[in-house]
A and B are shown apart, each in its own frame.
Chain A
Amino acid sequence: MHSTADFALITHRQAQKTAIATMIAALALVAICFVTIHAGAIHIPPGTATRLIAQQLGLAPVDDSMQALRTILIEIRLPRIALGVLTGAGLAVAGVTLQGLFRNPLADPGLVGVSTGAATAAAAFIVLGWPLFEYLSAPVLRHALPIAAFVGGLLTTIAIYAVATREGRTDVATLLLAGVAINAMAAACIGLLVFLSSENELRDLNFWMLGSLNGVTWDRLVFVGPLILAATIALARFARHLNALLLGEIEARHLGFDVERTKRWMITLVALDVGAIVAMTGAIGFVGLLVPHLVRLMMGADHRTLYPLSALLGACLVLLADLFARTIVVPAELPIGIITSFLGGPFFLWLLLRQKAQGAF
């Protein structure tokens, strides 16, 4: 392996491998969507689902005998799947970004406290924001919730960055300990808020701490969905910046990148992304840790590959976890965060042990 032609071949092979992996992940996502449309507490046969969607799109005459199934499919299950896709992709991409930004593979929106910071702000807004409620109309209020979560996420991200980063180097121990502290404070705040609130104001503690895709409707998704999508796509445009940033901030600057501007954008976009997701789903843990790691193990560290594949696999993971959450204890439902944490917790421990064995932090 010595000449330019050989290197062209290596690069070409890599690009091919990425393309194939992306295709497989996209197909997997389509297949999982297909399964999750039909499976659930109420089974909807494939033919019926197709007919109902066709009717909804005006491609076929509406058949009133299927009204109940139509409500379940169109009003409950489809928005939930859409939210699952956005949540999985958004959390995975936020994880990739935080790991690059902190130059450490252990960063995750949940572990370092961004998700819980956003959740606390959202819960506080619901419980303490009542003086505003009289003046604001219902749709404006719905939009104010993700904004509150965004502000909470932004403040937490800036805080942990300030605490854990000195001279462009991030100390992992400080980062994770700051996350522990923020998570503990957030849990206390949310607990207090739930205690103070009437039943209607906060659904429950589990929703904010463990997350759930339950109860999403199209009109809630209409504003937040595009926000998550836009933030996720915008983040993925920083792939080359992150590749350089992994070498160090000074090195990235020497390579011609505007590091300060990049960092500001990434922190804002992560806060927006995570804030919008948390406002809809509560804090779902470990997706941002689990997914990028699996992709790195298979495909290496290049962010141009990491971003799209993590987004696709994140969507797959959240859809599968949600399917599990809503079918395993029918007619009740588990918080999805229980499932992602069951998967993510041991995985995180394994990562810690492996890093310890390598002596690398």
Chain B
Amino acid sequence: MLTANNITIMRGSRRILDQVSVAVRAGEFLAIVGPNGAGKSTLLHCLSGALEPDEGSVQLNGRPLSSWPARDLSRRRAVLTQSPSLGFAFTALQLVLIGRSPHMGSNPGRTDLRAAAAAMQETGIAHLAERSYLTLSGGERQRVHLARVLAQLYAEEASERYLLLDEPTNNLDLGHQHLALSAARRMTEQGVGVIAILHDPNHAVAYADRIHVLHRGRTYADGAVPDVMSEGLMREVFEVTARLLRDPQRDRPYIVLWPGSRPASINDHPPERRHACSLP
């Protein structure tokens, strides 16, 4: 289990995160949703160990993240950050194999190649294996990075691992958005706990077991999808007038918006709250 207990992040005197607790179990898909500046990326950085919380603690299997040896940790959890920049001509396959760094010596072995092949098929980029990263489109690059973190977690048999995704659907077209989320969803079947920041609440509804709603640095709601998702939540957190309908076939809610769902008369957050989530 990967847990954050009452974590607080201060930036000056502002609280970017205020007493937030969140936990994900092995095999569970948790979506983190919330408006811009709610602290989603900051929370993910805390969960990945990139950011030390000012108060509270993050634990993996009951052990503080900071006391895990880096290599052990990197075999158990992988992180897809937002648009990593890269100006060097690696091939897609080389990049995906860099994801295997925690598992291999200086050269990839059979398992590493199997991991790369599986991850690249899963994300639909196997045909790009020998292409230079610099010649790929934004969406193709995003899928290469997704394949890299999938390869990092690849294991021959089910075991407890965690996958942290910060807006995995960035730059992806509709079909590839669902390809990416399906790939993450399939990981849960092998014991991987997934935490994904998702912008589209319908993605959260369709793929997540549980939703954690962040609003102005605080936990607004946390629970199973049908319990949390409501027209009231959409109004209060996202400030949109939405309708929640039920898909009779899957017995799941879905959210419908239309032009004018977010009237300009609704005030934005106070300005100082709005650019609050980046790494220090």
A residues near B (Cβ < 8 Å) are 1-4, 6-8, 10-11, 15, 103-105, 167, 169, 239-240, 243-244, 246-248, 250-251, 253-258, 296, 300-302, 304, 358, 360-361
Asked if B98 contacts A244 (CB within 8 A), the reply is yes
A255-B110 contact given A10-B93, A300-B89, CB 8 Å threshold: no
| Chain A hits for B48, CB < 8 A | 254
Asked if B98 contacts A247 (CB within 8 A), the reply is yes
B residues near A (Cβ < 8 Å) are 45, 48-50, 70-71, 73-75, 77-79, 81, 84-91, 93-94, 97-99, 101-102, 106-108, 110, 113-114, 116-117, 121, 126-127, 129-130, 132, 134, 152, 279-280
| Chain B hits for A256, CB < 8 A | 70-71, 73-75, 101-102
Question: Closest CB-CB distance, A305 to chain B, in whole Å?
Answer: 10
Q: Per a CB cutoff under 8 Å, which of B77, B84, B89 touches A247?
A: B84
Asked if A250 contacts B279 (CB within 8 A), the reply is yes
Asked if B87 contacts A1 (CB within 8 A), the reply is no
In the assembled complex, the Cα of A361 lies from the Cα of B86 at a distance in Å of 10
9 tightest A-B contacts by CB? A256-B74, A301-B88, A256-B102, A256-B71, A4-B117, A254-B79, A255-B101, A7-B113, A4-B114
> Can you name 17 A-B residue pairings with CB atoms under 8 Å?
A1-B127, A6-B129, A7-B93, A8-B110, A10-B129, A103-B85, A103-B87, A167-B280, A244-B101, A251-B79, A254-B78, A256-B71, A257-B101, A300-B91, A300-B94, A360-B87, A360-B134
Question: Closest CB-CB distance, B243 to chain A, in whole Å?
Answer: 40
Q: Per a CB cutoff under 8 Å, which of B101, B102, B117, B134 touches A7?
A: B117
Asked if B129 contacts A4 (CB within 8 A), the reply is no
Which residue, A11, A104, A358, has most C-beta atoms of chain B within 10 A?
A: A11
Nearest A residue to B101, CB-CB = A255
A253-B126 contact given A167-B280, A247-B98, CB 8 Å threshold: no
| Chain A hits for B91, CB < 8 A | 300
Q: Per a CB cutoff under 8 Å, which of A11, A103, A105, A247 touches B93?
A: A11
Asked if A247 contacts B86 (CB within 8 A), the reply is yes
Question: Closest CB-CB distance, A173 to chain B, in whole Å?
Answer: 14
Q: A302-B94, A360-B87 are in contact. List 17 more A-B contacts (CB 8 A).
A: A1-B126, A7-B93, A103-B87, A105-B87, A244-B101, A248-B85, A250-B45, A250-B279, A253-B50, A255-B74, A255-B99, A255-B102, A256-B71, A256-B73, A296-B89, A358-B134, A361-B87
